[in-house]
Chain A
Amino acid sequence: MDILNYNHSVLSVLIFSPLIAAGIAAFIRNEERLRWWTLIYTTAAAAYSLPLYWHFNLGTADFQFTENAAWIPALHIRYALGLDGISLLLVLLTTLVMPLCVLASWRYIQTRVKEFMICLLIMQTAMIGVFCALDLVLFFCFWEAMLIPMALLIGIWGGPRKIYAALKFFIYTMAGSVFLLVAIIALYLKVGSFSIPDMMKQGPLFSHQFQYWLFLAFFLSFAIKVPMFPFHTWLPAAHVEAPTAGSVLLASILLKMGTYGFLRFSLPMTPWATQHFTPMILALSVAAIIYGGFTALAQTDLKKLVAYSSVAHMGFATLGIFALNEAGLKGALLVMINHGVTTGALFIVVGMIYERLHTRDLSKAAGMGKMMPIFAAFAGMFALSSMAFPGTNSFIGEFLVMAGGFKVSIPMMVCVVPGVVLAAAYMLRMLQRFAYGGVHNPDHSHLQDLGLREIVTLLPLLVFVFWIGLHPAPFTRVMDASVSHLLAEVGPAKGAQVAMTARTAPADLAPALGVRQSSGALETSQPLLYATVPRLQPAQNPGAATR
């Protein structure tokens, strides 16, 4: 029986069991029991999802753990699920972050606990669904289903301006989804089915004009979700007002859906348009890195600081994706995971400060480290991770993204460098305040250091910080096959480099100049650099792309 086989039912179980858990939660009255029930369920789901990693076949780029059944036959809508190297880690990240979200809301959420936990569980269904869906309508359902519980999380349990933030979040993402819906319908009319694998296969055959518009529709939708500069303004508002668990979900999982969308839809379905728009998106990514860094440096509100650092980190993710080479793509995937771990942890840390001081103001929180050494140690490690200190997870991700970026254009990466320095500046500034500042603050000596629950919340994330930072192979190897496959789809025989070089050198000359598609080992694209570096002007000149 298929249903009893782990590999053939695991995704459905992961997607729908949270709904059942939410149903049961609706009947639990005692708030403490409710918390325990949600914690136990989410932990069990996390444990249940772990074998995905071991059962995952590293050798293929095909979708695995697939399920396929007719859903609405009249419209060729199917219930299709599957995972590949791109989505596997994101699903695991989601299941593993959920128990931590519950733990982080243990004391933070005191009103309407039941509704809160139900919202969290519905979110889990929708988030895992988005990463697993292989049918566009199914995908869109999950994509939209996420909006409402998230808006509720912000709007009910949020801070003083929660309604404003929830509305802004809702309107922005809704606006994006409209374009996504348009793109989905256009694709259906073209392909005749909603199957994502079918569309990925047919993508290269679409006419350039169709790809052009399709890409733009996808781009708007995903860029808002990422959020890419200049579509990011909803993010700080939402983060600042959201409760800790909301911020963590938002940062760790929801932002990844934008970049996941680029990887799943934009790149394989519109390869020509991807290459066409690459310079513009790279320019926006660089802008996000610099802008996020500068803005974070200016913040006194800790949540805003972390929120703007997210903008910069997601800039690295999009930069890596649109570098369109192996190092860049792998780096981007790692940045996505790392950002989920590190920024999620930082939001939990900020939540812990808020629970104690009822403020997120950096100057008021200054000097806490003196009274709370364990807290300071955790905050320090996560801040170091966020600034890509070598030996931590972000370093590997950003290193790969930078390597990928350098293969595209050296001048572009020179523009990124200030962003890297800024990351160190704002994180070290925050750390310095925690450890030393606060001479004029009211006495902090009543503050209690982290309790067992809080340590348990942060410890798993810290383990991942160093695990990915020091031994990334288990994480990178699941990506290998899918990334190579994706690269092959995006540009058979013409990488992004060719698209750029073609402006100054005829495309058929490109191979002779040493320009070739980067695939296989990182070293294979060495000659590329010498040949293309002097001619990559379009990459630093976004105007050329948008004309």
Chain B
Amino acid sequence: MQKINDIRLLLAVLAPLIGAGLVMVTGKKRPNLREGCSLLASTSLFVLVASMIPAIFAGKMLHYTVFKLLPGLSVSLRADAMSMIFAVCASFLWMVTVFYSAGYMRGLNEHEQTRFNVCFALALFGAIGCAFSDNLLTLYLFYEIVSLCTYPLVAHHQDEESYESGKKYLTYLTSTAKGLVLPAMVLIYVLSGSLDFATNIHTGILPPGVHRGLVTALYICCILGFAKNGVMPFHNWLPSAMVAPTPVSALLHAVAVVKVGVFSTCRVMLYVFGADIMHKFDLGLPTAYFVSFTIIAASIVALSKDNLKARLAYSTVSQLSYIILGVALLTDTGIEGGLIHIANHAFSKITLFFCAGAIYVATHKKNISEMSGLGRAMPFTFGAFALASLSMIGAPPVCGFVTKWYLVNGAIDAHSIAILIVLLTSTLLNAAYFVPVVYSGFFGKTSEADVKHKFTEAHPSLVIPLTITAAISLVIGLYPQFLMHFVQHVL
């Protein structure tokens, strides 16, 4: 594969950082200018990322070394097909979220909006850095930046509940990263003398002859250590992070942060261990079985949640494991299905969260049981919700179907009936917790209190973004070829 040095990578990673600086400077006095800075940063990020697409489609790999630390150890960036899937989604959705976030935060008159926007941009800085990492150290560096910068967002309300959640959030994420990933990373460095990712998904970077038990231990450390991937048993930070304002839940806890976890996990599986070693030591299918538990269990928990954001959070936990499951199948179709779900889940789940936030701003309702009949008052919001729900369930023609199609094919290629049953069961469970929301929204009886209120749609700055993301979910379901192109370049 052709490696090209390209400074655009550095610029892309710096764009959110500079954005954060500008937001901080423009500060409290000029909210419009501040939001303008966020928009500028997100747009320039998207433009930079988009400008790299042709090179990636031409089969090239962009590369940029920022700092050389020690022999075999550097802070360096790369853009390949896999990073582009994540970077394109994250940067595009950030643009959309800037509008939504401005509408939401102002609609609710939230405090400390400058801090909020600064941390938001910093979290994106970390996420884009993860997407463009060229080695495990860089990945770890940006992963930790994301953990730290999102803490103020989780603890945004600064009350008992948000402090508790913030504490849980940091405890889960930093202790797994420091306790599992860091030692694994050092050991991999000791073993292979370098932490640079391989350039293909087969070979990995571990030298031949490493003891099986050691490889397995390192692998387990990496799967569990990137706890942002929401794999049980270290998933609990995600539901508690839902105390954060909805734009955070939407972009960070459905797209950026959790995808950082999943992306890191997949990156390490494919580019550090490599498909060959995973085959050799039988790491693939056991991983798939292991995350299957998360898929099913989280869906069952989601069923029991009445709080809409909590239900969405558990749905996220479940859906994230689809991605890992697909990659762990180690078949072409499985990997394709897993990686494409990074994008598919991003667009659909952000829509769902946008809807939840719009409902909250318009009606101050958080619980599903109170939303009966609201769909008639807020047709766009609930329509988008319905569409995104279909995607989560995996029904055609929305994008979730593409994922399911590839995953099912992958499971068949891997000759695993058990995985097929898991996929089937989880589809039924997804339907079981999403359909009632949509059904009662459109066809439920409006409560008497609600009749008096005469709720209407939220502010257009909330409704337009969610309509856009819902529409994109539909479009990439109908025309999956653009994103699949990336995924096929990974293989």
Contact = CB atoms under 8 A, between A and B. Distances in A.
Contacts of B170: 428
Interface in B457-478: none
A41 interface: no
> Which 6 residue pairs across A and B have the least CB separation, nearest first?
A523-B193, A390-B141, A402-B186, A470-B67, A421-B179, A406-B190
Interface stretch (A96-104, A125-133, A411-419): A411-419
Interface of A: 327, 384, 389-391, 396, 399-400, 402-403, 406-407, 410, 413-414, 417-418, 420-421, 424-425, 428, 432, 435-436, 470-473, 476, 521-523, 526, 529-530, 533
Contacts of A407: 190
B interface residue count range (under 10 / 10 to 19 / 20 to 34 / 35 or more): 35 or more
B158 interface: yes
Nearest to A418: B179
Contacts of B141: 390-391
A389 B187 contact: no
A453 B386 CA distance: 61
Contacts of A523: 71-72, 193
B300 interface: no
Given A421-B174, A526-B207, 5 more contacts: A406-B183, A413-B187, A425-B175, A432-B151, A436-B155
A384 B144 CA distance: 11
A384 B170 CA distance: 14
Contacts of B70: 396, 399-400, 472, 476, 522
28 contacts: A389-B144, A390-B137, A390-B140, A390-B141, A390-B144, A391-B75, A396-B70, A400-B70, A402-B186, A403-B189, A406-B183, A406-B190, A407-B190, A410-B187, A413-B186, A418-B179, A420-B178, A421-B175, A421-B178, A432-B151, A470-B69, A470-B75, A522-B71, A522-B72, A523-B71, A523-B193, A526-B190, A530-B209
Interface in B215-271: none
B178 A424 contact: yes
Interface of A is mostly: helix
Nearest to A390: B141
Contacts of A476: 70
Nearest to A468: B69
B186 A526 contact: no
B210 interface: yes
Contacts of B483: none
Contact of B193 (A400, A526, A530): A526
Contact of A473 (B68, B144, B183): B68
Given A389-B144, A470-B69, A526-B191, A428 B174 contact: yes
B214 interface: yes
A530 B137 contact: no
A530 B190 contact: no
B182 interface: yes
B354 to A, nearest CB: 28
Nearest to A470: B67
Contacts of B171: 425
A384 B147 CA distance: 13
Nearest to B179: A421
Contacts of A529: 190-191
A327 B193 CA distance: 12
Contacts of A414: 183
Interface string B162-173: 010011001100
A232 B210 CA distance: 40
A406 B175 contact: no
B454 interface: no
Contacts of A473: 68
Interface string B135-165: 0010011001000100110010010000100
B239 to A, nearest CB: 21
B29 interface: no
Contacts of A418: 179
A410 B192 CA distance: 16
B201 to A, nearest CB: 24
A261 to B, nearest CB: 27
